[in-house]
Amino acid sequence: MEPEDFFGTISGGRVLDVATGDGNFIHFLVDSLKDYTEIIGVDNNKDVAPSFSAAFRKQRNIHFQLMDAHKLDFGDESFDFVCISNSLHHLDPEPVLREMKRVLRPGGFLLVSEMFCDEQTEAQMTHVLLHHWWAAVDTVNGIDHRETYTRQQLLDMVAALGLNDLTTFDLNDLSEDPKSKDFLAQLEVVFESYNQRANGHPELQSRGAELKARAKEVGFHSATTLMAAGRK
Ligand SMILES: C[S@@+](CC[C@H](N)C(=O)[O-])C[C@H]1O[C@@H](n2cnc3c(N)ncnc32)[C@H](O)[C@@H]1O
């Protein structure tokens, strides 16, 4: 079964997207869920609020709230669907997942979507290694950002929640040319910005240079994402 077929059968009801950023994952929810009544995105970074609001200005039932994912300011069992995308490696996963389960009603869906660092092709490993470099650069700049988890570590975190009817998907798209000149040119800009942020850390800058050479040599594909959803 494809994820669209699975999520297309689910009425989202009141939905919570934890660590929402500018709401990127909400676009997936809007496109995939059968329907929903309200979606709330929470994030602890106030700087993402304007881009979130701009993205959903036409949808009156999609809102942003400033909040720490480790201490959700919502009542027990107050959502029908609770999710988190590509953010567990920025957080302390155990308390965050516990909070997500607390605010979910019995029978509601909890969904974790996260890229993982193993079982990838060589071109996907460029993404994984780049991500680990970004995490190291963020860390020296005082931003919480860890390396991504293995697929099994993610499965273990979800298993510990004791959800029912667990369904998993491995999502990737290997159809693009991994050495696309356009894409490598875009990546160049990202290298430059992280390189500047690594000023004063020559070992991180040389790691960046090695990764730049790797991207040219073996190419780049986005790493596979695990989606795991189950009922409380
Ligand atoms: C890589 S972004 C993912 C954004 C979005 N979920 C997506 O899939 O594109 C990680 C997000 O986690 C947020 N974040 C980090 N620590 C957080 C915390 N303690 N509470 C809430 N959000 C947090 C960051 O501000 C950032 O927007």
pLDDT in tens, 168-190: 999 999 999 999 999 899 889 99
pLDDT above 90 coverage of the chain, percent: 93
Q: Per-residue pLDDT for 4 more than 90?
A: no
CA gyration radius, the chain? 18
Per-residue pLDDT, 168? 97
Distance CA 136, CA 133 (A): 5
Q: How many residues are recorded in the chain?
A: 232
Residue-averaged pLDDT of the chain: 95
Cα–Cα distances (Å) from 193 to 27, 138, 188, 204, in that order, read 27, 12, 9, 13
- Expressed in angstroms and rounded, the spacing between residue 217 Cα and the centre of ligand 1 is 31
Cβ atoms of residues 174 and 110 within 8 Å: no
Tell me what percent of the chain is helix, strand and coil, each rounded to the nearest 5: 45, 20, 35
Q: Per-residue pLDDT for 74 more than 90?
A: yes
Please give the single-letter amino acid code of residue 180. S
**If DSSP codes are grouped into helix, strand and coil, which group holds residue 114?**
strand
Helices (H), the chain: 3-7, 24-32, 49-55, 93-102, 122-140, 151-159, 181-197, 202-218
Distance CA 79, CA 75 (A): 9
Report the pLDDT averaged over residues 81-110.
Answer: 97
Q: Per-residue pLDDT for 135 more than 90?
A: yes
Per-residue pLDDT, 170? 96
Per-residue pLDDT, 36? 97
Per-residue pLDDT, 1? 81
14 lines ligand 1 (CB under 6 A): no
Please give the single-letter amino acid code of residue 211. L
Tokens read off for 6: 């699975």
Q: Per-residue pLDDT for 117 more than 90?
A: yes
Q: Per-residue pLDDT for 72 more than 90?
A: yes
86 lines ligand 1 (CB under 6 A): yes
- From 43, 130, 225, give the residue whose CB has the most ligand 1 atoms within 8 Å, as the site to mutate: 43
Report the pLDDT averaged over residues 89-95.
Answer: 95
Report the pLDDT averaged over residues 75-92.
Answer: 97
User: What is the DSSP secondary structure assignment for residue 121, as one 8-state letter?
Assistant: -
Per-residue pLDDT, 113? 97
Report the pLDDT averaged over residues 29-55.
Answer: 96
Please report, in angstroms and rounded to a whole number, the separation of the first and last CA atoms in the chain: 22
**Model pTM?**
0.94
pLDDT in tens, 156-167: 999 999 999 999
Q: Which ligand 1 atom is nearest residue 25's CA? A: 8
Q: Per-residue pLDDT for 211 more than 90?
A: yes
Cβ atoms of residues 117 and 130 within 8 Å: no
43 lines ligand 1 (CB under 6 A): yes
pLDDT band at 60 (very low <50, low <70, confident <90, very high): confident
Q: Per-residue pLDDT for 116 more than 90?
A: yes
Domains present along the chain, CATH in parentheses: 1-115 (3.40.50.150)
